[in-house]
Amino acid sequence: MRYIDKTVVGLTIAFLALLFADFFMAEWMRFIGLQSLARGTVALGLLVLWRTGLVSFGHALYFGFGAYAAAMLTLLGYHDAFFLVFAGTLVAGLLAFLLGFLLRRYRAIFFALLNMAFSMILYGVIVKTEALGSTDGFSVLAPTFLGYAPEGEAVQTTLFLFTLVFTYLITLSVHLYLKTTLGGMSMAVRENEIRVEYLGYSAEKVIHVKYVFSGLVAGFGGAIMALAIGQVDPDSMANWTVSGEFVFITILSGIGNVAATFIGALVFELIRTYAFEYAPQFWQFILGGSLLAIIMFLPDGIWSVLSRLRKAEKAPSP
């Protein structure tokens, strides 16, 4: 019972509700949901880093790496979603593990910009590679699921189910991880690294573990995105603006709770979709404006609305 708290219960209810809703949702809503799950998972990795006091402006590196890895495997004739997503996650995690040896030594702006530098190297390589379609990217065919090859709307329904199950498991484990000693070390590293070292822990190792984790989930998000949309290109997968979107979502969500990242990602997608629909010439302006509004009025993100409501609820009781 000590692992079951309100977040676990809430996540499980949301999971079951979405599982059920999958079969009744409007197609476009499922599509937005799928993208929100993918982006939300990446933001989950950023949340873990953020709690450690680190902001990365370059997680499109792992997102793009995962997306392109999965997409390139389809070119080689592999179409199973389990294999593609697993491979995309793994190679991104491996890259994060290797780069982690360098990046764990940096903090603050140096960490943020070094990440960005690495992500732009990947971007540059993709743009220059004509076999991968340069700036155009290439199309990704619909995946199969352990031999099951859905068609039409069933592709998205199955993919949503697939993504939902894995996202649920990942989110749950992050939540439980953050409650362990190593997870709790996040805040400690952020607040006072020297004290952490005196307690006998290596701050760099703590950061490295979290960095690899963030790389893994970003790779997962990228692979899902490639399959969901059916297209990869460097500008939407590996450019610094994509990294910016992840930071945007993290700010929007706040780092109060793991569930917040998905709500933030959903809100982000909705703002973008509606801004694009109703103001085709000013949608970037609306997106920027809403970020500004969030920072000014809800500095702790959307999640803080929920905690404020709770406080208000408690107040009148004696």
Per CB under 8 A, the list member of 281, 296, 315, 318 interacting with other proteins is: 281
Helices (H), 192-279: 193-198, 203-229, 234-237, 240-253, 258-278
Residue in this structure with the two tokens 């694009």, named with its chain if needed:
276
Interaction between residue 18 and other proteins (CB under 8 A):
yes
Count the residues of the shown chain that bind other proteins, applying the rule CB under 8 A: 59
Nearer to other proteins, 167 or 186 (CB): 167
Query: Is there binding between residue 238 and other proteins (CB under 8 A)?
Result: no
Our CB check for other proteins shows the closer of 266 and 291 to be 266
Stretch that binds other proteins, among 98-106, 188-196, 247-255, 269-277 (CB under 8 A): 269-277
Could you tell me if 220 and 170 are in contact, meaning their C-beta atoms sit under 8 angstroms apart?
yes
Asked if 235 touches other proteins (CB under 8 A), the answer is yes
Cα gap 284→22, rounded to integer Å: 30
Q: 52 or 236, CB closer to other proteins?
A: 236
Bridge partners (DSSP) of residue 232 are 138
Q: Give the span between the Cα atoms of 180 and 196, in whole angstroms.
A: 15
Q: Residues 229, 251, 291, 294: which binds other proteins (CB under 8 A)?
A: 229
Residue count of the chain, please give it: 318
User: What is Dmax (Cα atoms) for the chain?
Assistant: 69
Q: Is position 60 an interface residue for other proteins (rule: CB under 8 A)?
A: no
Contact letters (x/-) for other proteins, 118-157, by CB under 8 A? ---------xx-x--xxxxx-x-xx---------------
Residues whose CB falls within 8 Å of the CB of residue 245, separated by 6 or more in sequence, listed in order: 39, 268
Q: How far from the centroid of its chain's Cα atoms is residue 301's Cα?
A: 16
- CB burial class (10 A; 0-12, 13-18, 19+) of residue 206? buried
Residue 142 or 174 with smaller CB distance to other proteins? 142
310 belongs to the binding site for other proteins (CB under 8 A): yes
Give the residue with the Cβ less far from other proteins, 52 or 243. Answer: 243
Rounded least distance, CB 54 to other proteins, Å: 26
Please calculate the CA angle 32-62-256 and round it to the nearest 5 degrees: 60
* CB closer to other proteins, 73 vs 155: 155
Say whether residue 224 binds other proteins (CB under 8 A).
no
Q: Give the angle subtended at the CA of 65 by the CAs of 97 and 85, to the nearest 5°.
A: 90
Query: For residue 52, which phi and psi values (nearest 5 degrees)?
Result: -85, 0
Binding part of the chain for other proteins, among 46-54, 55-63, 106-114, 265-273 by CB under 8 A, reads 265-273
Q: Does 3 bind other proteins (CB under 8 A)?
A: no
Q: Which is nearer to other proteins, 109 or 270 (CB)?
A: 270
Q: How far apart are CA 286 and CA 91, in angstroms?
A: 36
Secondary structure (DSSP) of 70-129: HHHHHHTT--BHHHHHHHHHHHHHHHHHHHHHHHTT--HHHHHHHHHHHHHHHHHHHHH-
Instruction: Find the binder of other proteins among 25, 90, 113, 188 (CB under 8 A).
Output: 25
Of the candidate residues 53, 150, 230, 256, the single one contacting other proteins (CB under 8 A): 230
**Which residues here bind other proteins, judged by CB under 8 A?**
4-11, 13-14, 17-18, 21, 25-29, 31-33, 35, 127-128, 130, 133-137, 139, 141-142, 225, 229-237, 257, 259, 262-263, 266, 270, 273, 276-277, 280-281, 283-284, 306, 309-310
